[in-house]
Amino acid sequence: MPWSYLPHTEEDRKAMLAAIGVAKGEDLFADVPEEVRLCRLLDLPEALSEPELAKHMAALAGTNANLQEYTCFLGAGAYDHYIPSVIDHILRRSEFYTAYTPYQPEISQGYLQALWEYQALIAELTGLEVSNSSLYDGGTGLAEAAMLAANVNGRKEFLVAKTVHPHYRAVLNTYAIDRGCTLTEIGYQDGVLDTNELQSKLSKTVAAVIVQSPNFFGCIEELKTVVDAAHAQGALVIAAVDPISLGLLEAPGTFGVDIAVGEGQSLGIPLSFGGPYLGFFATTEKLMRKIPGRIVGQTVDHDGNRGFVLTLQTREQHIRREKATSNICSNEALCALAAAVYLNTMGKEGLQQVAALSLHKAHYAYKQLTGIKGVEPVFAAPFFKEFAVRLNKPVAEVNHELFADKIIGGLDLGKYYPELAGCALLSVTENRSRQEIDRLASRLGAIV
């Protein structure tokens, strides 16, 4: 029983063609040269009924490896944290489906309030005074922070830690080319930024120093050292941070970081093959008017009732693009809502518990794996929930064998750092059980 979802009958089509004065549908393409027309039907299979299509799509979906059946130790910027069921229930409410910009506050109070609360949560989490209502992802947030720094102090040079996520550095490079900025990478020692090299390259021409903590290797950077050195030369400090780590680690604002950015996927957003994700962006009140994207502000109406509006938005950001400090005037509102619901659901104690479980389980896994002959530690620096190990076999080969046992192994660091060929970056979140970690150790021991 093939059901059609096309509303027009053959009689409808004839009536419409007659109304516009053509005999058949092909006449609508009379201006398209004959030689570039397809002149045949598309090579598509026959239409399926809805039950048949549902079975077909279910079969296709069944060929994917999913985290309900596979145990994941892969991180590198996207993490398998537990997502409370309440998040999905709230996101599915119809009033939150639209991504349309809430220009008319009188009919958008609910969503504006949700975004305002998200901003307040991010500001508290990062220890900074103001947050925008989100950006596209962590890489975009980092690049926008760099451009803000250049606009503020008029400098064009950036010192970027090589321990910053390679994808973030790639996005930053794309932005820098168009703005005429130069990027100088600072190497690492034992998994963290080489502060001696940083000191030697800092000068009055540097707009900002860009670091990540925990960094791409999972190691925790000395932010205070970086801040003191950069501020002495009049440079800003931009820190990319893991929001879950802030359940335990000191907020970047406490160290004097000027701009904190990061990927908010860990805050209640599924892995989803890479998106959509959530870039968060927080900074000081001094830099508030230079923030990219939207800011939701709280105010009162004529009668003194609390209300919410988009605020500090220059018209240039939406229309006169050549005069804008940033051409991002959108956000990831639904993902920001998920993050707000996650943080409110977990609360301070819950977030601390998630961070503590991730920390302790990662260190347990590190101890178990580095005790295996053929698996060696790479760095000795303190780490949060990710760590690197060196294997005596190619990482791709090891991961292939692990995958056959329904274990998703670590990232091959040699793809981004040639000097770390043969090293794997593993992530352990609160979702991993002791039994799963022990099974990884047992299987890895058999492989290597």
Averaged pLDDT, 385-408: 98
Element (H, E) at 295: none
Dist CA 424 CA 410 (whole Å) = 5
Residues 6+ apart with CB under 8 A from 417: 423
Higher per-residue pLDDT: 281 or 273: 281
Q: What is the CATH code for 85-342?
A: 3.40.640.10
CB 326 within 8 A of CB 312: no
Q: Mind listing the pLDDT tens digit for each residue in 224-259? A: 999 999 999 999 999 999 999 999 999 999 999 999
pLDDT of residue 5: 62
Q: Which residues make beta-bridge pairs with 78?
A: none
CB 248 within 8 A of CB 352: yes
Q: How far is CA 289 from CA 30, 210, 247, 312, 372, in A?
A: 53, 21, 29, 7, 53
Three-class SS state of 406: coil
Dist CA 370 CA 383 (whole Å) = 15
Superfamily of domain 71-82+347-447: Aspartate Aminotransferase, domain 1 (3.90.1150.10)
The model's pTM: 0.89
Percent of the chain with pLDDT over 70: 95
Q: Domain extents for the chain?
A: 10-61, 71-82+347-447, 85-342
- At residue 192, does pLDDT exceed 90? yes
Determine whether 221 is exposed, middle or buried from the number of CB atoms within 10 Å of its CB (0-12, 13-18, 19+): buried
Neighbours of 85 (CB within 10 A): 8
Residues 6+ apart with CB under 8 A from 261: 138, 141, 142, 144, 145, 238, 239, 240, 241, 279, 280, 281, 282
- The pair of three-digit structure tokens given for residue 426, joined into one six-digit string: 């593993």
Dist CA 198 CA 187 (whole Å) = 8
Averaged pLDDT, 54-73: 93
Neighbours of 70 (CB within 10 A): 17
Three-class SS state of 383: strand
pLDDT tier at 65, thresholds 50, 70, 90: confident
